Amino acid sequence: MTANFAHTELPHPPGRRRVLGDVVSVMRAPGGGPVQKMLHLSKGAGPLFELRTFGMKFVLTTDAALTAELSDEGRFQKALAPGVKALREVAGDGLFTAYTDEPNWALAHDLLLPAFTRASMRGYHDTMNAVCSELISAWDQESEPVDVSPWLTRMTLETIGRTSFSTDFGSFTSDEQHPFVTAMITALAGGQRRAFLSAVPGGRLLMRRGRKVYDERRAYVDAMIDDIVEARRASGDRRTDDLLGLMLNSRHPDTGAALDLTNVRYQINTFLVAGHETTSGALSFALYYMSRDREVMRRAQEEADAILGTDPDAVPTFEQVPKFRYIRRCLDEALRLWPTAPGFARGPRHGSETIGGRWTLHRDDWVLVMLTAVHRDPSVWGADADSYDPDHFLPANVRARPAHSYLPFGVGDRACIGRQFALHESVLALARLVHRYDLTPDPSYDLRIAERLTLMPRDFRLGVTRRTPKDVARSTDPRPSEAETASGVSGCPVAH
């Protein structure tokens, strides 16, 4: 016998109130933000549980088996949870916020796929290296520990800007973060706040208080993006070797359809945010865990040194990046524990569907896949699921795990279109940083996580000490490196 999903009360935190729902329980739960609090509340709650806040109901799963069912593209599709739906005010029918059946989603997906082929990655490689070199030059000048996340955010913003839109944000020529970042985050967060307040009694009055700032920031972002587009159009440049060129100059091979300028703006919004926020967070989490484990750092440096040689200034070639297999595993493991896009919603593709043999979802129902918990499901990851261990991603361990137990880039047709871009940039940067520096963590620092549109370490600092050729030579293992002997890489499971 199955339960009607919409009308069944699922397990929930104790102390539910008539109007507030589970707000008190959420506020009292440990953690610095909603994602961390929900991770705490999910422990022992069962495979499917619910949270209610004022008039909104959220159904979440922490279970890898249910996630595998929900990942079946024949039965389920991406749903827009309220937080994502609220972003449509800024990002419209861009790739991340579009409904799957909206014409512009399929059109943009087909037109922009060529930007993420292997050949395109090769074209971006030199720019990725150049931007990483600017980060390294900046770190070389620092005498105090560096605040890791803001620096990596500068690097990833500059990388997506230059490779995709031929736009230089001046991230390493100014002491201040580019105002685009603040304006865009404020605009997107403002949209989510408005969606929440619309469900709160009296919330519409509170919405007015932040409206002016929200409108100003959104207008700034729109104007800046429109200037980027107009400059390219005015130049008469018809090339299609970057994202902007594909958006402006490509036509669908079957229909001849092109993206309109409003949708181009939405796509640029999407890629500028998704293309730098998630990647800088992933890199920051990886460096946090790597720097705190001497054996992990030793193995990572040994691999980087074996491939790049004794010159700490060495720059990896395009062909060398996939050889950093242990470093890739370090990144994968960081994304397992703290996926920077911490969840996604799935709903029935056609009519009703039953999951777990118990719960029936109807057309408008959806379940939030809570990746922070699914990635720690002990039935998949074992008793040490909360521990950082890059060997979770040894090829044999990857093959032994059930499908859909690791999904930091989403799933199916709506998986992140830019995942190979993010992985190439991230592995390249990690390899260069551990080859260049000895990285020293603050032993008194406990991980604090900033929750905005994505997850990112907060106030995480590292001491950076330049390595010399002698330092590198001492660490180089004369035996064949793991990169040369390992077979296979960990599987890759932003815009979703």
Q: Where is the binding site for heme, in residues?
A: 416
Q: Which tokens hold the place of 135?
A: 């980060």
For the chain, the C-alpha Rg in angstroms (whole number) is: 23
**Kind of pairing between the strands at 48-53 and 56-61:** antiparallel
CA distance 244 to 273: 15
Which of 101, 103, 417, 132 has the alpha carbon at shortest distance from 270?
417
**Which bin fits 91, alpha (ψ -120 to 50), beta or left (φ > 0)?**
alpha
278 in active site: yes
Q: Active site residue: 285, 416, 454, 460, which one?
A: 416
Question: What one-letter code names the amino acid at 496?
Answer: H
Q: Are 61 and 344 in contact (CB under 8 A)?
A: no
Helices (H), 198-314: 203-207, 211-235, 243-249, 261-274, 277-291, 294-308
Residue positions forming the annotated binding site: 416
Q: Active site residue: 61, 62, 278, 372, which one?
A: 278
**Kind of pairing between the strands at 359-361 and 3-4:** parallel
Question: What one-letter code names the amino acid at 454?
Answer: T
409 in active site: yes
416 in active site: yes
CB neighbours of residue 190 within 10 Å: 21
Q: Are 207 and 194 in contact (CB under 8 A)?
A: yes
Q: Which tokens hold the place of 167?
A: 């736009």
Q: Which helix (H) or strand (E) element contains residue 465?
A: strand 461-466
Q: Which tokens hold the place of 325?
A: 């297999």
Q: Active site residue: 409, 421, 454, 460, which one?
A: 409
Helices (H), 32-102: 34-42, 64-70, 82-86, 88-91
- To which residue do tokens 């018809």 refer? 238
**Residues forming the active site:** 278, 409, 416
